[in-house]
């Protein structure tokens, strides 16, 4: 018996575009973000005498969300209320936006100091998917997505990048709303049902499910397979290379049809 409210997801080979989250999916910038969030909140929460910042806070309150939403979510969890402020606030201002901008400065410093490279399995899958004829895009809540892609040496692979800056300029709601993913699909002239969402955050897989995308793939980098499935992942892998057998062959590798 099938569950009435459970959809039947499409197969990877049936889809036309792959819409990738960036941090934790293509590049291990989640590690950079985690260190940057810790640099922000470890001293800040200590100064306010509340429960100390933990790694789990990253996954629970900020992973996959636009930066200011992450700040607001964690502060609310600790019972701290701050004025919203504006994106132009300096990093020393005691506002949600000020703290978000402080975190962004910490992220930039971490990236410049340590650099970043793609996950080997993700790079293999990306190159095979492009060779197989898929459209590919990056859909990231980070305003630094192009900087990260450039540092990782893969910016030229992506004709479409919908990042935090694009979302702010175009008034697109952040994940778990599906708006940024729907925007990327529309730039290819495709429907959500023709696209695959590839995410490592629960908010991101929820965005894929909320947008009725053809397939939602969760990449478990720490959020947990059960949590990813509960929020909307149709399939969960630990490395994108696990999906290589599901790709159709590249056109050049298809043997010519025999004629009589």
Give 40's Cβ-side CA count (13 Å radius): 35
Which backbone phi and psi does 31 adopt, to 5 degrees? Answer: -65, -40
pLDDT, block means (10 residues), the chain with 260 residues: 59 96 91 91 97 94 88 97 96 96 92 91 98 97 90 97 94 95 98 97 95 97 94 97 93 51
CA–CA gap between residue 98 and residue 76 (Å, rounded): 16
Res 33: pLDDT: 85
Residues designated catalytic: 21, 23
Sign (positive or negative) of CA dihedral 189, 191, 192, 195: negative
The pLDDT of residue 252 = 59
60 vs 44: CA distance, rounded Å: 18
Query: What is the per-residue pLDDT for 21?
Result: 97
12-28+117-253: which CATH topology? Answer: Rossmann fold (3.40.50)
pTM above 0.95, yes or no: no
The domain locations on the chain are: 12-28+117-253, 30-114
160/179 Cα distance (integer angstroms) = 15
CA distance 173 to 141: 10
Helical packing angle, 29-47 and 96-114, nearest 10°: 130
pLDDT of residue 177: 96
């Amino acid at each position: 018996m099938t569950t009435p409210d459970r959809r039947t997801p499409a197969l990877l080979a049936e889809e036309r575009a792959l819409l990738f989250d960036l941090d934790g999916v293509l590049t291990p910038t989640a590690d950079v973000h985690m260190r940057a969030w810790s640099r922000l909140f470890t001293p800040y929460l200590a100064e306010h005498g509340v429960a100390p910042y933990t790694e789990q806070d990253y996954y629970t309150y900020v992973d996959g969300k636009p930066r200011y939403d992450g700040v607001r979510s964690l502060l609310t969890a600790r019972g701290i209320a701050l004025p919203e402020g504006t994106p132009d606030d300096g990093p020393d201002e005691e506002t949600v936006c000020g703290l978000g901008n402080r975190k962004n400065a910490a992220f930039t410093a971490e990236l410049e100091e340590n650099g970043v490279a793609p996950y080997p399995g993700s790079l293999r899958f990306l190159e095979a998917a492009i060779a197989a004829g898929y459209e590919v895009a990056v859909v990231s809540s980070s305003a630094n997505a192009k900087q990260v892609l450039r540092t990782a040496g893969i910016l030229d692979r992506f004709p479409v990048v919908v990042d935090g800056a694009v979302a702010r300029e175009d008034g697109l709601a952040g994940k778990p709303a599906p708006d940024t993913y729907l925007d990327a699909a529309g730039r290819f002239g495709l429907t959500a049902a023709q696209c695959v969402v590839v995410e490592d955050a629960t908010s991101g897989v929820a965005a894929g499910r909320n947008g009725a995308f053809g397939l939602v793939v969760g990449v478990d980098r720490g959020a947990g397979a059960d949590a990813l499935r509960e929020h909307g992942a149709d399939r969960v892998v630990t490395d994108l290379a696990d999906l290589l057998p599901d790709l159709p062959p590249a056109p050049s590798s298809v043997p010519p049809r025999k004629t009589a």
